[in-house]
Structure 1
Amino acid sequence: MHMLDGYDAFTTVGRTSGHKINSVMVRSAKPGFPDVVDDRYRELMNTYRKWLYITKLRRSGHLLELHPKLDVHPGDQAFDCVACPCPEFNFSWNEVTEDEWVYFRAYYSYDGNFRAYRKNKKVDAGDVCFSDGLAYFPPMQEYEEWVKSQPEPKKSQEKPTCDNHKAGKDNSVKFAGRDVTGIGAFTCTSHSCVAPRGMVNFFKGRLEGEGPERVWVHFNEHSGSTSEQGPGMRLDTWCNVACDWGFVKATEMHRTLPARFCEAKKSHAEQLREHETLTSSFPRRKIQEWESESIEPKNENDDGNWTTPLMDPVLKGGYYETLREERETETEAVRLTGRRSGAVRWIADGIELEHSLQNLKDEQKALGSKPTARQAELLNSKRLALRDRIDVFMQKRVLHMLEIDEPDQPRPLEFVGEDSEWAEPVELGLPSSYKADTLAKAGVSKLAEIERRLRRGVCTDALESVKRLLGGKAAVIKFKNQHLSGQVATTRAESTIQKHTVKILKARQRYLNSRDALLNLEPTEKDLDQYRELRNQDLQTLKTYFEEYAQTTGHGRTSMSWIWRSAAAPNKEDWQIDTLKTEWFRSRERFKRWNEQLVLLKREMIMSIRSFRQYQDLWEWKASNGQPSPGMRSYALKRSAFFGKLARQMLGVSLECLKDDVVHLEWANAWLKDNVSDGVFIEIST
């Protein structure tokens, strides 16, 4: 029994295959002479499955009296999350006041994993699923019949909103040779515990998202073994892995929840300090005006454009307006040379690709020559996704640019290759990469006019961004100089200023990129006057200009930076305050979210304690009700003592957090008052 218990620990906690464990046992039996050891691999697998089945029956209370209220799923072999809300188990609705209902919602994530497939292999006649419908999967036969009864959904002709998504591509999963293509699972969002009856088999690749990723990292290490197993053994294995995962999560709650509470408390204090600092820098009347403003999205003009104070200020420079106007002129009937339907979107995609290439280049340089394995993997995934976007763009280029020759004034862009090396430069071949007479001969001059208008819009939007960010930077510097002292506060402010500087330089790069393209598109005199070269010395705040102006003499040749005088991006009234309005709303909401997180963590700690106590009482009840055998009664009492110890451990490490008055949860305070005294449970005699 000890050997089988150890085998189970190696397969679940150690994530080791049965074949590897058997190899270790063979080595231990006769080192150096493996051939003389009898092959008992099949017997080992068969014995382990029977032992696991009996163990699951015992842990589910088999042959013990069913509790009239708590045993809602007789023979249940799953282990639910102890920290998530379960009405009438770890809380009752009549204990919760109406204003605290919002904290008792259960949040679940759903995701698919296509590495957990099963190969289409011959199945042994004795391959029976012992946990069928009793643990994490629904009854197999009923589920398969239900799947077959569902009509095949019609394929949408619309382009997926998520570009380059694996699940959106038919070639992302190779179904040949697989009778099960993967699994889907519901997990509690906060702790990643699999929900009972919350897993299903996939027979087609239809879903892959960003749900319980932490679970899949663990599950993927078992997928090699399960892909070779029969249907019954495979489901039993996955149920055992999911149950052990939830059990480990439960037994670690005494460490994870208090640690998360301390981290959340620290972030809560930081966000409160940031919000109060930001609030003190504005006039009181402006704060009162903002406090009365709702953050709910509004469609004020009934035109489909929803706005909220949490959104970035809408730039009115012309890029998005131009893009919308140009696309409205396109219809399916348009067949003029250079104005095929989709031409505007194609050029806009090219401009966005230029920005994405620059962002990837900046990210690669920021990582340096020795990025971590995780950083290198993330950079490579972005590179591959960008490569796919470029390939799609170049395929569409043939449609819009016809049979035009290679660019005669190319604008190559650096592209990050494998292993963070520089690959061959990318030439997108937009109209700005050709001379005007070349475009005219090819009959695509109208495309140049479209790009010219879009480039003007990008330049104007970038100028507005620069001015808005410079205003925000000036406000931060002013507040730092007037109100902050001490190393910690000053360092934090300097970090904020540095972030503003990085954003300003990125906006400058976008401006210069589109300005260079505009210069290749026969710009007008007005273009040359409005869109000048943006040098580093032009990135000057008005405050800096006026301070330098006051400190110098002979102002005959003094002039502020041209960006503040350009008609392309005119100044707006109260722009400095309006610039930081969005950040004020965001800082307030960040503080509220951390406040909510602290309340939820208090709730989770109490629910964990109450779940353990409930299991303790349940097993004690089973030991004293019905007519259990002496062995089963002894097991039930030990099980009760085990959960009682978990409850006391959880209470001991959580009590300080629960008594912390940084946030208030009346439900938790009332339960502690009625059930805990001097750090120990109040035992109620029956």
Structure 2
Amino acid sequence: MDCCVCEECHFGLLEYRCLDCFSGELFCSQCIVALHTRHLKWTGSSFAAQSLKRLGLRVQLGHPIGEECLLPRESFNDDFTVIHTNGIHEITLDYCSCHSAQTHATQLLRAAYFPATTSEPRTAATFKSLNTSGYEFYRAIARLTDNTGLHARKDWYEAFLRMVREWRHLKVLKRAGRGHDPTGVEGTREGECAVLCPACPQPGKNLPDDWQDVPDDRRWLYALFVAIDANFRLKRRAISKDSTDPGLSHGWAYFVEEAAYKSHLQQYSGKPQEKSTCSSHNAVNMADTKASQGLAATDLQKGKRYTNMDYLFFSTLGQRYVDVLNVSYDIACQWHKHLWQRMSTMPAHLQLDHASKSVRFFVPKFHLPAHVLKCQSMFSFNFSKNVGRTDGEAPERGWSNINPVASSTKEMGPGSRRDTLDDHFGDWNWKKSVGLGATLLRKMDEANEEHQAHANAFEELNRALNLEITTGWRADVEHWEENPNDLSVRNPFETKVSAITQAAVRLKLVEMEARQLQEGNDVSLHPDISPSVFIATGIDLESEQRRFKSDLSSRGAQATDRQKTILVRQQNALQCKVEAWKRVQLLYTPAAQLLSSRTETGGNPDNPEDIKLFLPSSLTADTASCSHHLLTIEWELRIAQAGDTLDEIRQSLRLRDYMYTFKRNWICGQSANTRAQNALGRVEARAAAAAEKYCAAHAALSSLAPALNKVGWNFKFRSLNNKDDVRGMTVPRKGESEGRRQLLWIWVVEGVGDDEDEVVQDGLRVEWCKARARMMRWKEEIELLEEEMRRVLRFLQWHALWWDNVAHLRALAGAEKEGVVAYATRQAHIRRDLSAKFEISWARYLTAPP
């Protein structure tokens, strides 16, 4: 066989190579047209691009390739352009001219070509190419077609974008089943093309028939959560207008119907916007700014105006028939005021019978800290019953997905922008829907683990407090939970006791200093010291050594002569006390002298602050003999020391938290800030010193416990692992949210509830209420997730049956009927397959059939 003859047909010359084949095999002109779309011609010295049209390709429509029309073909279209995934091609088209032939546009569609227009189309794009991102894709294939610029070509970008927009719109209608409805596209109702959430309560779709008859304590499981937010990045420049660029959708998906919306805004836009009485919400108080100049759309038109949000809110609820409604909005504390009064200005079909429903308002968890303290308790998801672990931040997650599109939609006309955003919103909702299997499973695993942890923490706190006190607290918080909107009922999550004054802080600091001076600085030593005095004096000396070291390090190398003199005097006094105590030690623990002598060198004694005293607890660690009586004495004294130092730590932390707040709210000016910072430093130093003293006491107890057979002591006196364990009552760990926070153990040890300080008691009451709320929210989250799992399965089963039913609504025949039924059947199968997959993954949590 001649090596230059095509092996495919054994006739033509080998001149062309396909760009998509891996082998690089050569073909003749006829075979390359029949088998390939991208190719190069061998010119004798190199490969050069060659168009399919020049090679004689004629695309025949209306009949399969190889079959001829019963009548002569219509005049062919010799200058037809096809946008393909691998380039832009010029081809020749032959349309069918039989009596049963469809229009040119329909013939193109059946050949998987999407025409740029329905009137004498000369440009089309393949279906596959329309499933791509417009700008980047078009520029890529344009360069693939000609990357040199040597061949002038018409720019088909606008035509391509128009085709993409129309294609996406048709897909939205198709997925909503509009092609199966006899009323067709014109019968589409508002919101009908939106992708529904299978987990949300939807009567007739995923709720039981008797859902309205359930007991009151179970109604919350069928509540609808509505999260409101605006995205100020989705702006649009003042380009084009609705008459020039109308939308293909008329409120059928995620945008309200534009004409009715703008008519309402025009009617009520002149009313002044009431100012916020909460924090300085820029979205409300700074409605008109330079940033909005030159923009036609900022979502809420220069700020979060209530008129805009009211219309959108009531439009959303128009088709929602639920009895319990939980609404979250980052300015809900202001927006909900007079909401029902403003509702009276809405069209009749948007008005809600709110009197027959239970409606509550919340501020999303991430936004809540920016509000005043009263709002932080009244509008908190964490403190309100029957909301589970809902955070109200769902829109923010959607914004993170849509924000990359903002730079494109900003330059679009109004209709193009709405249609494009509708398509992206639908894609996001569909991804969330098919991902519910993994999402709800992960949340359920986490909820069970967190509920157990917080239940244990709440039980531990109850053990540390007086039962009679907590019973009263429980009654108060339950009364508030049943009457959250009654302003006469005091909110239990708000403090009742006024903060202590600055003069009181100074007094407490003086009292702490006086008490420390009484703890051993003036101890008189006597030859007939009793064993208890001996041990107590040794413990006090250890504290004095630590205090002197702290003073020495804080003064540093830059100490003045006067400060150095004071330090030397203190050191000499400490030296005398240590030597006196050491002489008494010979009477009680002579073995300590053997251990002590090992650390002494030459005849020069160590610095008194560094001399190890070798109390009985140290001797047990070194396996030296010691009187059991002395061990018992030290045990009792160390237990008392541990309890006292915990009290001191808590007191110092309370003072520090107050002083931080006072400094932040009231102190200004360099001098005042310096004085306040110095005072804070003193309090923090005392907390650190108390923590160090506690660690020493805990180490001694750990050493004494085995020798004295003491058990269970470390349930109350635990180890302080790090600085993070020394935190205020309301201070969370880094990155820890309110709903996951657990009260530090130093605040829940037995006896802490006996503190008579009213500030302490009020703080404990608030923390008890919060600990109870955390436990209950996680318990509710488990119940809510179980219900959502059942709702998802019921919805998918309902939706599958819905597709089965719509498959036969239209009176069609032949290929059209087969296509309509096939699509509906495929959609039903998808829902049933998703339901089966989810049910298997959730099996261990589903207590009842869906």
TM norm structure 2: 0.45
Could you tell me how far 1:32 is from its partner in structure 2?
5.0
C-alpha distance in 1 between matches for 2:682 and 2:787: 54
- Which protein shows a greater Rg? 2
> Aligned residue for 1:144?
262
C-alpha displacement of 1:76? 2.2
Q: Which aligned pairs between 1:325-364 and structure 2 lie closer than 5 A?
A: none
Query: Which amino acid in structure 1 is aligned with residue 802 of structure 2?
Result: L
Contact 1:109–1:186, Cα closer than 8 Å, also in 2:
no
1:444-459 mapped onto 2 (5 Å cutoff):
none
Q: Residue 804 of structure 2 is aligned with which of 612, 616, 620?
A: 620
User: 2:170 and 2:668 mapped to 1: Cα distance?
Assistant: 73
Deviation at 1:534, TM superposition (A): 4.5
What CA distance in whole angstroms lies between the structure 2 residues aligned with 1:510 and 1:37? 70
Give the counterpart of 1:101 among 210, 216, 219: 219
Alignment of 1:388-537 (within 5 A): 505-509=656-660, 534-536=682-684
- Per-residue CA deviations over 1:540-562 (Å, capped at 9, x if unaligned) read 889x89x99xx9xxxxxxxxxxx
In the TM superposition, what whole-angstrom CA distance separates every residue of 1:594-628 from its partner, at most 9, and x where no partner exists? 11111111111111111111111111111244424
**Residue of 160, 184, 197 corresponding to 1:44:** 160
Give the distance between the partners of 1:119 and 1:516, measured in 2 at CA.
46
Offset of 1:224 from its aligned partner? Answer: 1.4
2:652/2:686 contact within 8 Å kept: no
CA contact (8 A) 2:199 2:792 kept: yes
* Residue 443 (structure 2) aligns with: 260
Question: Aligned partners of 1:270 and 1:594: how far apart in 2?
Answer: 10
Partner of 2:400: 217
Q: CA deviation at 1:49?
A: 2.0
Q: Check conservation: 1:135, 1:196, Cα contact below 8 A.
A: no
Partner of 1:169: 286
Greater relative contact order (Cα < 8 A, sep 6+) = 1
Distance 2:765 2:461 in 1: 10
Over 3 Å counting, the alpha-carbon distance change for 1:587 and 1:74 in structure 2 is: closer
Alpha-carbon contact 1:602-1:657 (below 8 Å) kept: yes
1:317 to 481, 500, 516: 500
Q: State yes or no: 1:128 paired with 2:316.
A: no
Task: Show CA shifts across 1:239-266 (max 9, x none).
Answer: 1111111111101101111111111111
Q: Structure 1 647/501 Cα, relative in aligned 2: closer, same or farther at 3 Å? A: farther
Deviates more, 1:267-276 or 1:574-583: 574-583
Give the corresponding residue for 2:818: 630
What's the counterpart of residue 703 of structure 2? Answer: none
Q: CA deviation at 1:108?
A: 0.6
**Structure 1 position 233, deviation (Å):** 1.4
Distance, in Å, in 1 between the alignment partners of 2:669 and 2:297 is 54
Q: Alignment partner of 1:146: what SS?
A: helix
Which whole-Å deviations, capped at 9, do the CAs of 1:142-198 have from their partners, x for residues lacking one? 221121112522254x664222624422455633222222258999xxxxxx99999
Task: Give the residue type in structure 2 aligned to 1:605.
Answer: M
Deviations 1:318-341 (A, max 9, x none): 589xxxxxxxxxxxxxxxxxxxxx
Amino acid at match of 1:603: E
Change (3 A) 1:574 1:133: closer
Q: Tell me the equivalent position of 2:176.
A: 60
> What amino acid is the match of 2:223?
R
Q: Is 2:652 aligned against 1:652?
A: no
Shift of 1:213: 1.5
- Mapped to 1, the partners of 2:832 and 2:131 lie a distance apart of 23
Specify which of 260, 266, 280 is matched with residue 463 of structure 2. Answer: 280
How many angstroms does 1:308 deviate by? Answer: 3.0
Which of 80, 90, 115 is 2:196 aligned to?
A: 80
Matched positions, count: 436
Note the aligned Cα RMSD (angstroms). Answer: 4.8
> How much has 1:647 moved relative to structure 2?
1.3
Residues 19-38 of structure 1: CA deviation (Å, up to 9, x unaligned): 22211222333445586554
Letter in 2 for 1:636: A
For 2:781, the aligned partner's letter is: Q
- Would you say the 8 A contact 1:117–1:180 is kept in 2? yes
SS of the equivalent of 1:107 reads strand
Counterpart of 1:600 (choices 784, 792, 796) is 784
In structure 2, relative to structure 1, the CA distance for the partners of 1:655 and 1:309 (3 Å cut) is same
Question: Which residue identity does 1:656 align to in structure 2?
Answer: R
State the Cα distance separating 1:286 from its structure 2 match. 2.9
**3-state SS of 1:109 partner:** strand
Query: By how many angstroms is 1:283 displaced?
Result: 3.1
In structure 2, distance between residues paired with 1:649 and 1:123 = 47
Equivalent residue letter for 2:267: S
Question: Which amino acid in 2 is paired with 1:598?
Answer: I
In 1, Cα distance between equivalents of 2:135 and 2:765: 62
SS of the equivalent of 2:165 reads: helix
**Which TM-score applies when normalising by structure 1?**
0.54
Shift of residue 586, structure 1, vs aligned partner? 1.1
1:220 Cα deviation from its structure 2 partner: 1.7
Provide the secondary structure at the position in 1 that maps to 2:196. coil
The equivalences for 1:540-559 within 5 A come to: none
Letter of the structure 2 residue corresponding to residue 216 of structure 1: W
Indicate if the aligned counterparts of 1:313 and 1:579 stay in contact, CA closer than 8 A.
no
3-state secondary structure, aligned to 1:115: coil
Distance across 1 between alignment mates of 2:208 and 2:241 = 47
Change (3 A) 1:580 1:220: same
CA distance change for structure 1 residues 196 and 620 in 2, over 3 Å: closer, same or farther? farther
Question: For residues 480-530 of structure 1, what are the alpha-carbon distances to aligned partners after superposition, in whole Å with 9 as ceiling and x for unaligned?
Answer: x99xxxxxxxxxxx9xx9999877544455678999989989xxxxxxxxx
What is the rounded CA distance, in whole Å, between the counterparts of 1:535 and 1:501 in structure 2?
Answer: 6
Q: Which residue of 2 aligns with 1:387?
A: none
Q: What secondary structure, in the 3-state scheme, does the structure 1 residue paired with 2:844 have?
A: helix
Between Structure 1 and Structure 2, which shows a larger proportion of helix residues?
1
Aligned partners of 1:138 and 1:197 also within 8 Å = no
Distance 1:36 1:160, change over 3 A: farther
* Matches of 1:159 and 1:60, distance apart in 2: 41
The superposition leaves residues 12-62 of structure 1 with CA deviations (integer Å, 9 ceiling, x where unpaired) of xxxxxx222211222333445586554211121121122223222322223
Contact 1:136 1:197 in 2 (8 A): no
